[in-house]
Amino acid sequence: MSLPWLVLQQIKSVMGFRQFHLRGLDKVNLEWNIVTLAYNFKRLHKLTGGSLMPLSV
C-alpha cells in the first residue's frame, strides 16, 4: 500500500473523517485543509513526544 493511501486510511479510521460537511469546491478545499492540518499537528505531537520545543531567539 502506498503512502498516500495510508494517510487517507488513518484520517478516515483514527480521526473519524468520513464525509465533507460543507458544499462548494472552495468550502470543501478549506475543510480538507483543516483536516490535513489537524493530521499534521497530531503527527508532529507524536514525533516530538508531546513536548514543546523552545524557540531560539
**31/37 Cα distance (integer angstroms):** 10
The predicted structure's pLDDT at residue 34? 94
**24/56 Cα distance (integer angstroms):** 42
The predicted structure's pLDDT at residue 37? 94
Would you tell me how many other CB atoms lie within 10 Å of the CB of residue 36?
13
The predicted structure's pLDDT at residue 56? 57
Cell digits of residue 5: 493511501
The predicted structure's pLDDT at residue 30? 95
Q: pLDDT tens digits, residue range 10-55? A: 888 888 888 999 999 999 999 999 999 999 998 888 888 877 666 5
The predicted structure's pLDDT at residue 32? 93
Is 2 in contact with 31 (CB distance < 8 Å)?
no
The predicted structure's pLDDT at residue 1? 59
Would you tell me how many other CB atoms lie within 10 Å of the CB of residue 17?
19
